[in-house]
Amino acid sequence: MPDLSRPKAPKIIAIANQKGGVGKTTTTINLAAGLAEQDKRVLVVDLDPQGNASTGLGVEVDDRQYTTYDLLLDDVALDDVVQTTSTEGLLIVPATVDLSSADIELFSNEKRSFLLHDALRQTQMDAFDLDYILIDCPPSLNLLTVNAMIAAQSVLVPLQSEFFALEGLSQLMLTIREVRQSGNKDLRIEGVLLTMYDRRNNLSQQVESDARSNLGELVFKTVIPRNVRVSEAPSFAVPVLSYDSSSKGAQAYRDLAAELIKNNGE
């Protein structure tokens, strides 16, 4: 039974695809910024040992004293782990390479698959007054990704518009099915997002056609174009919505944020 004394819980979305280079971290950063533009309070949980979401949101490595490693494995206060970013309303739990050893340490913990679930539901989280939590998963189906899926209500899957794109989805869908059976029966697909899309390219159009015919309404109406501004923004440690607000990439992520909000009945 829900605790009626607590505020409404944030929507938790894992952004996952075991294949690297599909726009997963880029989507996490810019969707978060798009939601923040819509006056939503958003927390990004960087669960990738590469820490690219942290870098892309302006958190220098030297400023990552406490990270998702501490959130999972150490009893560190949330106020020490959660950091602000230059985007108003957008917070982050950063990551470092230390997280790469977490899989080994998690394995000996009897609650190993539920550590992130429990960390994101502690009462201290209420003080941040969050609307959304976006989890940037590593590019593998390991114990960190399982933690994300058990913690989340849904999974958003970025899908690069390239040859064999759909074939890589089968293993991810199998993992989601296993998580439903073992630890999170209500986990659902938030949607499949086509990324790096080039309308001039016949292959991109074919991938979109195949995705929509195979997955139907699961595919977001919004498509993220291949856009140089989106690629440049991380080197300036800001979302593309701040780097070049009028670019096609920025507008696409605004559209995605609006579609996500609408899909969640807000």
**157 pLDDT higher than 90:** yes
- Does residue 118 contact residue 111 with C-beta atoms inside 8 Å? yes
Distance CA 148, CA 53 (A): 15
Instruction: Give the pLDDT score at 247.
Output: 96
**Residues 82-111: tens digit of each pLDDT:** 999 999 999 999 999 988 888 778 777 778
Reply yes or no on whether the pLDDT at 4 is more than 60.
Answer: no
CA pair distance 245, 179, nearest whole angstrom: 38
- 44 neighbors 57 (Cβ within 8 angstroms): yes
Residue with tokens 């020490």: 80
| Residues found in the chain | 266
Distances (CA, A) of 147 to 87, 118, 127, 220: 27, 10, 23, 25
Domains and CATH numbers, the chain: 11-261 (3.40.50.300)
Sequence-separated (6 or more) residues with CB below 8 Å from residue 150: 113, 114, 116, 117, 179, 183, 184, 187
Distance (Å, whole) CA 214 – CA 200: 22
pLDDT given at position 243:
95
Q: List pLDDT tens digits, range 15-73.
A: 999 888 889 999 999 999 999 999 999 999 999 999 999 999 999 999 999 999 999 98
